[in-house]
Amino acid sequence: MILESMTQLALEKISTGIEKIVGPENYSKAKYILHSYAEDASPFPGNPPDFVVLPQNTNEISQLIQFAASHNLSIIPVGGRSGISGASIPRTHSSIMLDLTRMNKIISIDKEIMTVTVQAGITWAELIHKLAKEDLTVGFRGPYGGNAGTVGGSLSSNSIGIGASAYGGACDNVVSLEVVLADGSIIETGSGWKKELPETLSHFTRYCTFNDLTGIFLGDHGTLGVKTQATLKIYPIAEGTAFIDFGFTSIEDCSKLLHYLQVHKLVTEAVILGDTNSIELLASTYHDKYPQLTTIVGIIIEEYDQDIANRKKEICEKKAKQFNGKSIGTFLSKAHWLNKFNLVQSLFEEGFWYNTCHLRPINTLPNLIHQTHELFKKYDMKPNEINWIISALATDRCYCTGWITLFLKDPTKRPLLEKIWHELRELEISNNGVPYWTGLLWEDYVLQRVNPAFYETIQKIKNALDPYHIFHPGVFKFER
């Protein structure tokens, strides 16, 4: 398939050109390598690129982009390819996949401005580990796939995850970006526009002087440029921590508590298990001990002083009681917070994941869960060996994730699963849901509903910044 798209001669010429830029050890056109880069962690069918290149620095990326443009090749920037929406899968032939994972250094930690500047290919696991040695942390600590997921990948796909209840998603935590554009030029956003600022002081604010250029590139799914560096806000590591789980017999009551906690900024993280099946799967001790519970919320409080954390916990307990919740222990909150990136991987034992991750206002969660149960009743989920987890994570102010994931053990049941998966996404998006990543998972559902003027505007931005559609062609169905 790869050779079909290019003659052997052209292939050799291009290889020589790429080799001159990055050296022989940093690129590959070997079929087995290309095929290993065809997929991400989603169930969508793969499509191999024609070359995989592992650049070492921003200048190499700039040269590669100019080289690709002059040879009519597209560029697909990728990080850990841990996405579960199919966002990094090439949509066309004749592409160079830029694997950023060798650009994984911390460039500087600024304790005066409280920022960290990193190369885009660093994983969240590595970043958190290295910052912890300095008694520092980022606010948003990465998606649950943060062992492989990179900062650049998360910022390109609006990731939500650890710390999001207090700090918002990945993109909420950015101060500035370095991006290589379609003509090979390099820009720094935010206060980075001011060339004569010394390197160490140049990235102290995102909003200044001009429009917010950073935001144009956040969530672009690799369609507007290659993010090579990011500056993120940092904080001292908290000294006080409190954990507590509350059980409910009604999702309505649990959602009211979640809303209260978020409005009053009481918690660092609050995660919900939204039905008895999910409690049985993820917190079986609670299911055995309290079989009447239909919802559990796990709460994590981090403060710079243990007394403040304890006091906040007391307030949460008092409020939970008012909403008919009862304190049941710390299993869920501790498992959630302390296992971090290792928490959800074990769920692959339940079968392959078919996720429907999206965002929604907290007060719309109960209705979604009731409607999901109606849908599940229509299909014999368990006898067909299709399992599920319904969960939600409070995010930023008063919204949350809707994490409803289906697990398939028996591949022969895939047609049935596809049907349910499709109906579930229709249900979610037509009932107040908005995806955070798009990718192959959500693209068709989103493009049917997007306001035409909105879509035309982002299309104009695409055409202005990338007139020849070098970057990740086909994504968002952008047309020249």
Note whether 143 binds ligand FAD by CB under 6 A: yes
Can you tell me the distance from the alpha carbon of 206 to that of 173, in angstroms, rounded to the nearest whole number?
A: 10
Shortest CB 125 distance to ligand FAD, Å: 11
Residues near ligand FAD (CB under 6 A), total: 37
User: Residues 200, 306, 322, 345: which binds ligand FAD (CB under 6 A)?
Assistant: 345
User: Residues 149, 190, 325, 366: which binds ligand FAD (CB under 6 A)?
Assistant: 149
User: Residues 222, 274, 329, 473: which binds ligand FAD (CB under 6 A)?
Assistant: 222
x-or-dash string of contact with ligand FAD, 2-41, rule CB under 6 A: --------------------------------------xx
Shortest CB 286 distance to ligand FAD, Å: 22
Question: Phi and psi for 459 in degrees, rounded to 5?
Answer: -65, -40
Can you tell me the distance from the alpha carbon of 326 to that of 346, in angstroms, rounded to the nearest whole number?
A: 28
DSSP state of 172: G
DSSP state of 340: G
Shortest CB 403 distance to ligand FAD, Å: 8
Q: Which of 435, 448, 437 is nearest to 477 (CA)?
A: 448
Tokens coding 237: 């590591």
SS3 at position 236: strand
Shortest CB 161 distance to ligand FAD, Å: 4
Shortest CB 213 distance to ligand FAD, Å: 15
Question: Considering beta carbons, is residue 161 or 190 the nearer one to ligand FAD?
Answer: 161
Question: Considering beta carbons, is residue 119 or 262 the nearer one to ligand FAD?
Answer: 119
Contact call for residues 317 and 254 (beta carbons, < 8 A): no
Question: Considering beta carbons, is residue 308 or 347 the nearer one to ligand FAD?
Answer: 347
x-or-dash string of contact with ligand FAD, 390-429, rule CB under 6 A: ----------------------------------------
Between the CA of residue 437 and those of 153, 232, 355, 361, 420, what are the distances in Å? Answer: 11, 20, 11, 17, 20
SS3 at position 7: coil
User: Residues 75, 96, 267, 344: which binds ligand FAD (CB under 6 A)?
Assistant: 344
161-220 positions binding ligand FAD, by CB under 6 A = 161
From 18-26, 146-154, 291-299, 312-320, give the range in contact with ligand FAD by CB under 6 A: 146-154
Tell me which long-range contacts 16-25 makes (C-beta under 8 A, separation of at least 24): 17/67, 17/71, 18/51, 18/53, 18/64, 18/67, 18/96, 21/60, 21/63, 21/64, 21/67, 22/53, 22/54, 22/55, 22/56, 22/60, 22/64
Kind plus residue range of the DSSP H or E element containing 179: strand 174-180
Question: Considering beta carbons, is residue 227 or 256 the nearer one to ligand FAD?
Answer: 227
Shortest CB 80 distance to ligand FAD, Å: 3
Q: How far is CA 476 from the centre of its chain?
A: 17
Question: Phi and psi for 12 in degrees, rounded to 5?
Answer: -65, -40
Shortest CB 355 distance to ligand FAD, Å: 8
From 66-74, 129-137, 159-167, 369-377, give the range in contact with ligand FAD by CB under 6 A: 159-167
80-139 positions binding ligand FAD, by CB under 6 A = 80-84, 87-88, 100, 120
Note whether 68 binds ligand FAD by CB under 6 A: no
* Helical residues (DSSP H) of 80-224, grouped into ranges: 124-132, 151-156, 164-167, 213-217
What ranges make up the beta strands (E) of 213-330?
226-236, 240-248, 269-273, 295-303, 326-329
Note whether 156 binds ligand FAD by CB under 6 A: yes
Question: What residue ranges bind ligand FAD (CB under 6 A)?
Answer: 40-41, 76-84, 87-88, 100, 120, 143-145, 148-150, 152-154, 156-157, 159-161, 221-222, 226-227, 344-345, 437, 472
